Amino acid sequence: MTQHTRLDQTPIPFIDLAAQKRRMGAAVDDAVLRVLAHGQYCMGPEVFAFERALAEFGGARHALSCASGTDALLLVLMAKGIGPGDAVICPTFTFCATAEVAALLGATPVLADVDAATFNLDPKSVERAIATAKKAGLKPKAIIPVDLFGLSADHDAIGAIARAENLFILDDAAQAFGANYKGRRLGTCGLATATSFFPAKPLGAYGDGGAVLTDDDDLIDVLKSLRVHGQGTDKYDTVRIGLTGRLDTVQAAVLIEKLKIFPDEIAARDAVAARYAAGLSDVATVPFVPDGYQSVWAQYTIRLAPGRRDALGVALKSQGIPTAIYYPKPLHKQTAYARFPIAEGGLPVSERLADEVISLPMHPYLDAPTQDRIIGAVRAALRG
Ligand SMILES: *Cc1c(COP(=O)(O)O)cnc(C)c1O
Rounded to the nearest angstrom, the distance between the alpha carbon of 99 and the centre of ligand 1 is 11
Q: What is the pLDDT of residue 187?
A: 96
- Spans in the chain with pLDDT lower than 70: 1-5, 384
Q: What is the CATH number of the domain that holds 370?
A: 3.90.1150.10
For a ligand 1 pocket test, name from 198, 296, 337 the mutation site with the most ligand atoms within 8 angstroms of its C-beta.
Answer: 198
300 with 168, same domain: the answer is: no
Greatest Cα-to-Cα distance within the chain, rounded to the nearest angstrom? 83
232 with 340, same domain: the answer is: no
Phi/psi of residue 18, nearest 5 degrees: -65, -40
User: Looking at the domain assignment, is residue 6 inside a domain?
Assistant: no
Site residues for ligand 1, CB cut-off 6 Å: 68-70, 94-95, 97-98, 146, 172, 174-175, 196, 198, 208, 210
Q: What is the pLDDT of residue 75?
A: 98
Rounded to the nearest angstrom, the distance between the alpha carbon of 196 and the centre of ligand 1 is 6
Structural domain including 297 reads: 262-383
Residue 326 C-alpha from the chain's centroid: 12
69 with 160, same domain: the answer is: yes
Among residues 239, 300, 309, 306, the alpha carbon closest in space to that of 272 is found at 300
Give tens-digit pLDDT for 182-229.
Answer: 999 999 999 999 999 999 999 999 999 999 999 999 999 999 999 999
Domain edge (last residue) among 223, 257, 291: 257
Give tens-digit pLDDT for 105-124.
Answer: 999 999 999 999 999 999 99
Q: What is the pLDDT of residue 4?
A: 56
Rounded to the nearest angstrom, the distance between the alpha carbon of 238 and the centre of ligand 1 is 29
Q: What is the pLDDT of residue 8?
A: 85
Q: Which residues pair with 172 in a beta bridge?
A: 146, 194
Specify the residue with its C-alpha closest to ligand 1, atom 6: 69
Domain edge (last residue) among 212, 230, 257: 257
Domain edge (last residue) among 257, 274, 289: 257
Q: What is the pLDDT of residue 2?
A: 46
Burial letters 257-292, b for 16+ CB under 10 A, else e: bbbebbeebbebbbebbebbbebbeebbbbbebeee
122 with 194, same domain: the answer is: yes
Q: What is the pLDDT of residue 1?
A: 41
Count of helix runs (H) and strand runs (E) in the chain: 12, 12
Among residues 318, 258, 191, the alpha carbon closest in space to that of 23 is found at 258
Total number of domains in the chain: 2
